[in-house]
Amino acid sequence: MTTTLLTARFDTGERQRLEAAIGPVDTAGFGVDGIVMPHEELLGRVSGLTRLLVEFEQIDEQVLDAAPDLTVVACCRNEPGASVDIEAATARGIPVLFTPGRNATAVAEYTLGLMIAATRGIASAHHALRHTDAFTAQPTGDADSRRDATAQWSLDPGAPFDTYQGPELSGRTLGIVGFGIIGREIARLGRAFGMSVLVYDPYVTPGALEQNDVRGVGLAELAARSDIVTVAAKVTPESRGVVSRTFFEAMRPNAYFVNTARAALVDYDALVDALRSRSIAGAALDVYPVEPLPSDSPLLSLDNVVLSPHLAGASTDVVRHHSRQLVDDILRIERGERPRFLANPGVYAAEATA
């Protein structure tokens, strides 16, 4: 009988590496059929398990009580508390592994993509060309005579060339609120585009700023000096609403705002007001106070915002990343070593003093 249950999406090669070390791994739940396993079904499957690897299944006190032999819970998420009751696991002496930065590259690349989409009008132009007749209303009978021309789109006011002109990223200033794993990757990509980078993060060290070739500034200075602002912070009591109405009022009218982090970091009412009044040039958003985005959201009626349905982390490579991270740490535990990514380090501290 296997004593390891995997309900997360998982890379085949990494699963084979895990099984080579610990024996067969049973699979079920979201990782098999894309449906989160019902709580009652999970309760009926965990007795006798020593290892439980999850992504979206909820591991609460009931599950932990039903699995008294558990020695490790591994969660394929940046924020394991979204799936695992870490306090309850800690009280039972069970280490909780997690995968910080599993989607850092995916989110950072998507963030840069949204910056370009917003500043250069890519999404708006695509929609206008594909779903309206704004730019395609001319007759096509003379298409052959125009086939070899270098440019036949109108250059008149209101034509695409006029409507969708926007700034290059190169030479602009990027402001990043929060400088963890994802924030640092956004900074790296921004510098690759030729941007200078300002950072607001009261917890980052001067050494980390210097190492990443960025400049730390206060929140007000970042708002006032940045051509594009993006958010890459975790939601904490201190960071909730950090991008406030005052922040948007300090931004320049030609500046853009991008959020691929969490909606709770931002005053969305103030953002809507800034977009409506055009006190900022535009925004690109992947997260919202209510998800899915309600059909009556005022954001849907604005022409200076690019919207996407929480896709920044949806890369086909994320599963490979989190699988490798968890297998590496489970094998560390098997060798008697301390795991690298531990959500409750107090478990190991308690063992050391026992």
Q: Which of 198, 244, 231, 203 is nearest to 107 (CA)?
A: 231
pLDDT on residue 150: 55
Q: Tell me how far apart the alpha carbons of residues 276 and 270 are, in angstroms, rounded to a whole number.
A: 10
C-alpha 43/C-alpha 36 separation (Å) is 13
Q: Is 306:230 a contact under the CB 8 Å cutoff? A: no
Q: Please give the structure tokens belonging to residue 21.
A: 């070390």
Q: Is there a single domain that holds both residue 337 and residue 273?
A: no
Is 185 noted as a catalytic residue in this protein?
A: no
Is a pLDDT exceeding 90 seen at residue 309? yes
Tell whether 86 and 218 lie within a shared domain.
no
Higher pLDDT: 99 or 135? It is 99
Residue 136: its pLDDT value, please?
65
By mean pLDDT, which of 131-140, 169-178, 214-223, 310-319 is the weakest? 131-140
Characterise 297 by phi-psi region: left (phi > 0), alpha (psi -120 to 50), beta (else).
Answer: beta
Number of structural domains (the chain) is 2
**Are both 217 and 278 inside the same structural domain?**
yes
* DSSP β-bridge partners for residue 74: 53, 97
CA contacts within 13 A on the Cβ side of 130: 6
Residue 4's DSSP bridge partners are: 51
247 and 260 assigned to the same domain: yes
pLDDT tens readout for residues 244-285: 999 999 999 999 999 999 999 999 999 999 999 999 999 999
Let me know if residue 143 belongs to a domain: no
Asked if the structure places residue 49 within a domain, the reply is yes
List the CATH number of the domain containing 303.
3.40.50.720
Please tell me whether residues 245 and 344 are part of one structural domain: no
DSSP string, 131-175: HSSTTT-S--TTTGGGTT-S--S--STTSHHHHT----STT-EEE
Non-local (6+) Cβ contacts of 212 within 8 A are: 179, 184, 187, 188, 197
Any domain includes 156? no
> 172-227 pLDDT, tens per residue?
999 999 999 999 999 999 999 999 999 999 999 999 999 999 999 999 999 999 99
- pLDDT, average across residues 234-238: 95
Distance CA 84, CA 73 (A): 8
CA distance 103 to 265: 19
Please determine, for residue 84, whether its predicted confidence score (pLDDT) is greater than 80: yes
One domain, residues 231 and 339? no
For residue 82 the two structure tokens come to 């979204």
Q: Are 88 and 113 in contact (CB under 8 A)?
A: no
- Model pTM score: 0.87
Residues 184 and 255 in one domain: yes
41 is known as an active-site residue? no
Domain residues for the domain of 223 are: 103-121+166-307
Catalytically annotated residue among 45, 262, 321, 322: 262
| Mean pLDDT calculated for residue range 230-257 | 98
Per-residue pLDDT at 151 exceeds 60: no
Residue with tokens 């297998």: 327
User: 55 lies in a domain?
Assistant: yes
Indicate if 262 belongs to the active site: yes
Asked if 163 and 121 touch (Cβ cutoff 8 Å), the reply is: yes
Residues 93, 172: one domain?
A: no
Per the residue annotation, which of 15, 92, 245, 310 is the catalytic one?
310
The confidence band for 353, taking pLDDT boundaries of 50, 70 and 90, is: very low
Q: Provide φ and ψ at 326, rounded to 5°.
A: -70, -45
Which two structure tokens, joined as six digits, stand for 132? 């309206």
Q: pLDDT digits over 322-337, tens only?
A: 999 999 999 999 999 9
- Give the contacts of 275 (CB within 8 A, at least 6 positions apart): 282, 283, 299, 302, 304, 305
Please check whether residues 14 and 109 belong to one and the same domain: no
Q: Is residue 284 within 8 Å of residue 302, measured between CB atoms?
A: no
pLDDT, position 155: 79
Q: What is the DSSP letter of 193?
A: T
Per the domain annotation, does 21 fall within a domain? yes
Q: Do 113 and 86 share a domain, yes or no?
A: no
Are 291 and 239 contained in the same domain? yes
Cα dihedral across residues 156, 160, 162, 163: positive or negative:
positive
Question: Which member of 168, 210, 238, 291 is catalytic?
Answer: 291
Helix (H, G, I), strand (E, B) or coil at 258: strand
> Do 301 and 173 belong together in one domain?
yes
Q: Cα(122)–Cα(128) distance, rounded to whole angstroms?
A: 10
The CA-based angle 84-321-284, given to 5 degrees, is: 85
Check if the beta carbon of residue 215 is closer than 8 Å to that of residue 198: yes
Amino acid at 52: L
